[in-house]
């Protein structure tokens, strides 16, 4: 890639910076949203900043989202932007290591594994897994004792990370992966995860120990999955309808089946794609529920109203019923609005692209042109709280979604029906709108396919926890992109439901 591109009169304005190569990396890295808002005030919706030697042109607002996410994938290219980061972690032959048409076929295969029948089967498994976790994990000691009159505490980040990997592996990843979730698997996971750092982005090939660890972990993780696949090919039938089973049955248009390595690498990609995203969203959701006891009560009432059985006890959740709980749905939707786990979406610019005048007023030299060799960046996180769109956009208010005429519902409608798709107000609708101000799952060709699974996982998590305990915290912490631990306190409330006070000094 070109690190230095001569400046032209039609280039978008460049964000002022003191350090030549580093550019704005520190301000962006410490607090991307504040950085975007400050730049937006100074330069408008389209500007370029220097990120470790790369020139990154940001386009903000719904029109900016549309410009980048609705742009042609041959010009705003995803493989070029991400492959040097993702291929060493996921492995060869999948996702951004292959031409986009091949990855699009692979995405279609993954959709088979996420069929409604599979999702229906997953609800009970996720519920069981969380029940087990709460019954045995030391974080929930208070819940486990008979003495229900004392406060306990748990670290919401660790708990959510563990529950996310346990529930994803029990369902999508499959029985063998769930059984193989040992300390050594966690170690491999962490070493792989260590491959997603700014250093890896800037210098893909440094002779560093963390890179060697990443590569060793990738090889071992890949073998771990290949071994599972080969055992299945050799007759092991002790598994359920999981993603590996679905991928083993798929064929490319040219008639080829996926190789064992490709399946292994797709599984690693899915593991990584769903882990931080769901666990961070779950943490934020629990924190907000804890800070808003009335919402916690409303969620609890929703569970009681919908799931109390003839014997007066709560019965298990089902997929269809879970999809039809408006308060739960709004809580997830609203959490994803102000805390979308993916705050920046990047593409590499393969050819000069004019910026539409409707997105950014032309400069004295005519319209702006994003030069070939730049990266472009969309941040739906900005449009999702933009005061021009949302009333008190920084406030977490799930009830904003219940007003069918309100801004939130309109934004969501745009998000859902821009491509003429059916709007499904319940539970993780699938849509591809590129000009909506609300896009936590991205938009366009590269839109997330894990949305329904994430809603299911988060919805089951929140329901299961809210049935068991009441959550409290004084204040939800500010965004902080560097904290990895956060303590939560809990107080048992009745034998059916414990009160959990979240008292964390730090931030997720």
Annotated binding-site residue numbers for heme: 448
Considering only 185-193, 438-446, 466-474, 491-499, which stretch makes contact with ligand HEM by CB under 6 A?
Answer: 438-446
Helical (H) or strand (E) element with 288: helix 260-291
Report if residue 425 touches ligand HEM, rule: CB under 6 A.
no
What is the rounded distance in angstroms from the CA atom of residue 374 to the CA atom of residue 352? 9
Burial status of residue 331 (CB atoms within 10 A of its CB: 0-12, 13-18, 19 or more)? buried
Burial status of residue 148 (CB atoms within 10 A of its CB: 0-12, 13-18, 19 or more)? middle
Report if residue 273 touches ligand HEM, rule: CB under 6 A.
yes
Question: Smallest distance from the beta carbon of 442 to ligand HEM, in angstroms?
Answer: 3
- Cα dihedral 110, 111, 116, 121 in deg (nearest 10): 10
Residues 6+ apart with CB under 8 A from 447: 432, 441
Residue from 55, 288, 339, 446 binding ligand HEM (CB under 6 A):
446
Report if residue 433 touches ligand HEM, rule: CB under 6 A.
no
Q: Choose between 300 and 455: whose C-beta lies nearer to ligand HEM.
A: 455
Report if residue 12 touches ligand HEM, rule: CB under 6 A.
no
Residue from 70, 88, 274, 398 binding ligand HEM (CB under 6 A):
274
Spatial CA neighbour of 5 closest among 71, 35, 50: 50
What is the rounded distance in angstroms from the CA atom of residue 341 to the CA atom of residue 360? 27
Contact between 431 and 425 (Cβ < 8 Å): no
Binding characters for ligand HEM, 64-103, by CB under 6 A (x = yes): --------------x-------------------------
Q: Choose between 24 and 171: whose C-beta lies nearer to ligand HEM.
A: 171
Question: Smallest distance from the beta carbon of 282 to ligand HEM, in angstroms?
Answer: 8
Residue from 83, 281, 330, 499 binding ligand HEM (CB under 6 A):
281
What is the rounded distance in angstroms from the CA atom of residue 361 to the CA atom of residue 357? 5
Report if residue 293 touches ligand HEM, rule: CB under 6 A.
no
CA-to-CA separations, 118 to 101, 171, 183, in angstroms, rounded: 26, 9, 28
**Residues 241 to 270: which contact ligand HEM by CB under 6 A?**
270
Contact between 167 and 501 (Cβ < 8 Å): no
Considering only 196-204, 226-234, 285-293, 448-456, which stretch makes contact with ligand HEM by CB under 6 A?
Answer: 448-456
Which residue of the chain is nearest ligand HEM when measured via CB?
Answer: 450
Alpha helices in 359-431 (DSSP H): 380-383, 407-417
Residue from 83, 118, 200, 277 binding ligand HEM (CB under 6 A):
277
Residue from 154, 441, 456, 464 binding ligand HEM (CB under 6 A):
441
Question: Smallest distance from the beta carbon of 277 to ligand HEM, in angstroms?
Answer: 3
Give the DSSP per-residue string, 201-262: HH-TT---HHHHHHHHHHHHHHHHHHHHHHHHHTT-----S-HHHHHHT-B-TTSPBPPHHH
Report if residue 345 touches ligand HEM, rule: CB under 6 A.
yes
- Which residues contribute to the site for ligand HEM (CB under 6 A)? 78, 107, 172, 270, 273-274, 277-278, 281, 340-342, 345, 440-442, 446, 448-450, 453-454
């Amino acid at each position: 890639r070109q690190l230095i591109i001569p400046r032209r009169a039609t280039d978008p304005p460049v964000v002022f910076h003191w350090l030549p190569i580093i550019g704005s990396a520190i301000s962006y890295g410490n607090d991307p949203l504040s950085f975007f808002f400050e730049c937006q005030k100074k330069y408008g919706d389209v500007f370029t900043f220097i990120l470790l030697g790369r020139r990154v042109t940001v386009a903000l607002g719904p029109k900016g989202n549309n410009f980048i996410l609705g742009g042609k994938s041959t010009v705003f290219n995803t493989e070029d932007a991400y492959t040097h980061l993702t291929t060493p972690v996921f492995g060869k032959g999948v996702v951004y290591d292959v031409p986009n048409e091949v990855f699009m076929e692979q995405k279609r295969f993954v959709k088979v594994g996420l069929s409604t029948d599979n999702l229906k089967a997953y609800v009970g498994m996720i519920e069981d897994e969380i029940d087990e976790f709460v019954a045995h994990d030391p974080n929930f000691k208070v819940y486990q004792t008979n003495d229900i009159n004392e406060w306990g505490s748990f670290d919401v980040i660790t708990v959510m990370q563990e529950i996310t990997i346990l529930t994803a592996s029990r369902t999508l990843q499959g029985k063998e992966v769930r059984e193989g979730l040992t300390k050594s698997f966690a170690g491999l996971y962490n070493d792989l995860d260590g491959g997603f750092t700014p250093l890896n982005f800037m210098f893909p090939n440094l002779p560093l120990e963390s890179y060697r660890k990443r590569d060793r972990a990738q090889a071992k993780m890949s073998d771990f999955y290949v071994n599972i696949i080969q055992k299945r090919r050799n007759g092991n039938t002790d598994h359920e309808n999981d993603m590996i089973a679905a991928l083993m049955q798929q064929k490319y248009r040219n008639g080829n089946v996926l190789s064992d390595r490709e399946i292994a690498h797709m599984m690693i990609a899915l593991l990584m794609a769903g882990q931080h995203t769901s666990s961070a969203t779950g943490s934020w959701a629990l924190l907000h529920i804890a800070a808003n006891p009335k919402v916690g009560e409303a969620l609890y009432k929703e569970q009681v109203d919908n799931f109390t059985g003839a014997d007066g006890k709560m019965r298990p959740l089902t997929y269809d019923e879970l999809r039809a709980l408006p308060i739960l749905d709004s809580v997830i939707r609203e959490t994803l609005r102000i805390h979308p786990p993916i705050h920046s979406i990047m593409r590499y610019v393969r050819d000069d692209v004019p910026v539409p005048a409707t997105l950014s007023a032309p400069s004295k030299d005519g319209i702006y042109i994003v030069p070939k060799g730049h990266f472009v960046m969309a941040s739906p996180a900005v449009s999702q709280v933009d005061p021009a769109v949302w009333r008190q956009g920084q406030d977490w208010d799930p009830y904003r979604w219940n007003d069918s005429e309100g801004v939130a519902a309109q934004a969501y409608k745009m998000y859902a029906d821009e491509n003429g798709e059916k709007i499904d107000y319940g539970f993780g609708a699938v849509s591809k709108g590129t000009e909506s101000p609300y896009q936590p799952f991205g938009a366009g060709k590269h839109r997330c396919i894990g949305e329904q699974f994430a809603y299911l996982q988060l919805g089951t998590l929140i329901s299961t926890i809210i049935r068991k305990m009441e959550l409290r915290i004084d204040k939800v912490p500010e965004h902080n992109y560097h904290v990895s631990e956060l303590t939560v306190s809990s107080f048992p409330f009745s034998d059916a439901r414990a009160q959990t006070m979240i008292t964390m000094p730090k931030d997720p």
